[in-house]
Amino acid sequence: MNTSAPSGAFLPGAGTEAPETTEAEVRAAAAEAATAQPGWAARAPGERAAVLRRALALLAAPPPDLTDLFARESGAVRPKAEMELGAAMGELAFAAGLAGQAAAPAALDSTVEGRTARAERVPLGVVGVITPWNMPLMLALRSVAPALALGNAVLLKPDPHTPVLGGRFVAWLFRRAGLPDGLLHVLPGGAATGTAVVEAPQVAMVSFTGSTEAGRSVARTAGGLLKKVSLELGGNNAFVVLADADADAAASAGAFGSFVHSGQLCIAVGRHLVHRSVAERYTAALAKKAEALTAGDPADPATRIGPLIDERQLAKVRAIVADTVAAGARLVCGGTAEGRVHRPTVLDGVRPGMRAFDEEIFGPVAPVTVFEDVDEAVALADATEYGLAAAVYGGDPETARSVAARLRAGMVHVGDQTVVSEPQLPFGGVGSSGNGGRFGGPAAVEAFTQWRLTTESTPPRRHPF
Ligand code: NAD
């Protein structure tokens, strides 16, 4: 494990192979973490918070080459790198405030004479964190920071595409911030390393963020070992545009929701469900916005659409577009790629049963589906296995609110698109988007601590045999 990279040395460039951590190394790291954790949990909450605040200060004055690293390692354009950096700082600030929240035990009533009871939230011990590449720094900190703040030790397995931003940089940050040795282990590698993290006997809980398919595998392994598991998985999020919406403002929201980070966000707008009366104007405005976006080199500050993460993802996006058009949808704009840069694409006439409607695309593609009335909009929005985010855009807030209340999703936004996330707000999905685990706000304390009950009988109780 390397937690001691000096400033700048964690920037090896995109494509740098990180070593695959072996199962034996994972087990050794878990044992070390379990040894270090009780001392960390015993520290005053203020001491733990101070480490997080120092990490925040380091991130507020990041190494100058960090923006380049975002572009090279993850394909992030400048505004996305800045957005992620801001979100990562938000996670640290929020977690610093959590440190003391689990400390105060609650006195509870006992019905037995002479017995008192109190319950408190205590750390889980060692937490395994497995993350994807699309928001590598922010998603690592979303779990690592609250887990540490609340007194746990952490094993962090970043995605193989982003071993630095999602791993070594996080280790460097906490090392420089004064986190004691043994509490954070960064374990680069792929699925086999992830499985070893889940299986390590000292790991009490796994915080997994990634695809539904991998999440099911993690859940099976963790379930067999009776471990707590929090699953933040894929989405196919509906953006509902009502009849009374301002078509141009709605198209701006929809374009941002589908094209930010080239659509590679779990909460990206996956489907645009638009009332027939505004559909023509909405689709034309959406296409105009798509065509105006500069696509290309993520290191160029003018670029808004950078490359997809790898060739496999590019091939998947191209196949979804081609199959959807072959099934009868119309290609309004885009549909081409240069290198790994896929042009922002608008499809209309998209219906259930077509791949662009049914699947999570994870690319800069905006499928438009027309609905006739609100009942149909709700049925269409809920017609996927996912249930992460949804949004309703309309003129009358009361109507929009009533539609939003009917949607099946862990997060619903009125008057906005679906890319909404703040560290103090609970984040998570239902259905194939997760198992009900949440991050953010009070949910973070629930995720990374557990109840412990202490009762006391004075004088000591006597029993009949
Ligand atoms: P992925 O599932 O392929 O990989 C995610 C992580 O899991 C990586 O670190 C990977 O190495 C690891 N992994 C893969 N198989 C594993 C296994 N069997 N056991 C243990 N670990 C394993 O996901 P991806 O394609 O890299 O990321 C994109 C997906 O993540 C999308 O579906 C997206 O919606 C989802 N995502 C969800 C959220 C959320 O908060 N809900 C956030 C970001 C991304």
DSSP per-residue codes, 400-417: HHHHHTT---SEEEESS-
Q: Which residues contact 224 (CB under 8 A, 6 or more apart)?
A: none
Task: Give the other-Cβ count within 10 Å of 226's Cβ.
Answer: 6
Long-range contacts of 289-295 (CB under 8 A, 24+ apart): 289/251, 289/252, 289/255, 290/255, 290/259, 290/333, 290/334, 290/343, 290/344, 290/345, 290/346, 290/364, 290/366, 291/333, 291/334, 291/344, 293/255, 293/259, 293/344, 295/338, 295/341, 295/342, 295/343, 295/344
Nearest to 173 by CA among 136, 124, 206, 202: 136
Write out the two tokens for 213. 């398919």
DSSP state of 439: B
Taking CA atoms, 66 is separated from 74, 141, 165, 229, in Å, by 12, 16, 9, 32
Structure confidence at residue 19 (pLDDT) = 81
Rounded to the nearest angstrom, the distance between the alpha carbon of 300 and the centre of ligand 1 is 28
Q: Whose CA is nearest to atom 8 of ligand 1?
A: 159
Alpha carbon of 280 to ligand 1 centroid (Å):
36
* Cis bond upstream, residue 62 (ω within 30): no
| Helix-helix angle 374-381:397-404, to 10 degrees | 40
pLDDT at res. 189:
97
Ligand 1 atom 26 nearest Cα? 132
Task: Return per-residue pLDDT of the chain as tens, 465 residues.
Answer: 333 333 344 443 444 556 899 999 999 999 999 999 999 999 999 999 999 999 999 999 998 889 899 999 999 999 999 999 999 999 999 999 999 877 677 889 999 999 999 999 999 999 999 999 999 999 999 999 999 999 999 999 999 999 999 999 999 999 999 999 999 999 999 999 999 999 999 999 999 999 999 999 999 999 999 999 999 999 999 999 999 999 999 999 999 999 999 999 999 999 999 999 999 999 999 999 999 999 999 999 999 999 999 999 999 999 999 999 999 999 999 999 999 999 999 999 999 999 999 999 999 999 999 999 999 999 999 999 999 999 999 999 999 999 999 999 999 999 999 999 999 999 999 999 999 878 888 899 999 999 999 999 999 999 999
For a mutational test of ligand 1's pocket, the pick from 165, 229, 266, i.e. the residue with the most ligand atoms closer than 8 A to its C-beta, is: 266
Q: Could you identify the atom of ligand 1 that is nearest to the CA of residue 198?
A: 20
Element holding 85 (H helix, E strand): helix 78-98
Q: Output the CA–CA distances (angstroms, integers) from residue 157 to 32, 38, 191, in the order listed.
A: 16, 22, 10
Catalytic positions, written as ranges: 232
**Closest C-alpha to ligand 1, atom 40:** 232
Closest atom of ligand 1 to 427 CA is 40
Instruction: Single out the residue of 128, 189, 144 nearest to residue 162, CA to CA.
Output: 189
Ligand 1 binding pocket (C-beta < 6 A) is 130-134, 139, 157, 159-160, 190-191, 194-195, 209-211, 214, 217-218, 232-235, 266, 360, 362, 388
**Residue 160 and residue 362: Cα distance in Å, rounded?**
18
Distance (angstroms) between ligand 1 centre and the Cα of 257 equals 20
Residue 103: the pLDDT is 65
CB 421 within 8 Å of CB 88: no
Nearest atom in ligand 1 to the alpha carbon of residue 433 is 41
What separation in Å is there between the alpha carbon of 233 and the centre of ligand 1?
7
CA distance 456 to 216: 42
Element (H, E) at 318: helix 311-326
| Residue 189 CA, closest ligand 1 atom number | 11
In this structure, the chain runs to a length of 465
**Which residue puts its alpha carbon closest to atom 43 of ligand 1?**
266
- Yes or no: say if 300 and 321 are a contact pair by the CB < 8 Å rule: no
* Atom 37 of ligand 1: nearest residue by CA position: 233
Containing 320, the helix (H) or strand (E) segment is: helix 311-326
The residue extents of the domains of the chain are 23-233+434-455, 237-414
Q: Pairing mode, if any, of strands 365-371 and 411-414?
A: unpaired
Beta bridge partners of 338: 341
Rounded CA gap, 55 and 95, in Å? 11
pLDDT at 436: 82
Task: Find out whether 260 and 77 touch, Cβ atoms under 8 Å.
Answer: no
Q: What is residue 124's predicted lDDT score, i.e. its pLDDT? A: 98
Q: Which of 137, 198, 209, 308 to mutate to test the pocket of ligand 1 (most atoms within 8 A of CB)?
A: 209
CA of 410 to the centre of ligand 1 (A): 19
Report the top-level CATH class of 23-233+434-455: alpha beta
CB atoms within 10 A of CB 372: 11
* Ligand 1 center to 131 CA (angstroms): 6
Question: Using an 8 Å Cβ cutoff, are 294 and 457 in contact?
Answer: no
User: Ligand 1 centroid to 147 CA: how many Å?
Assistant: 19
Best of 134, 422, 432 to mutate for ligand 1, by most ligand atoms within 8 A of CB? 134
Q: Which amino acid appears at position 162 of this protein?
A: T
Strand locations in 36-176, DSSP E?
106-108, 115-123, 126-130, 153-157
How does DSSP assign 243-255, residue by residue?
Answer: TTS-HHHHHHHHH
Q: Whose CA is nearest to atom 9 of ligand 1?
A: 159
CATH number of the domain located at residue range(s) 237-414 in this protein: 3.40.309.10
**Ligand 1 nearest-atom number relative to CA 235:** 34
Which tokens in the block code for residue 130? 């497995």
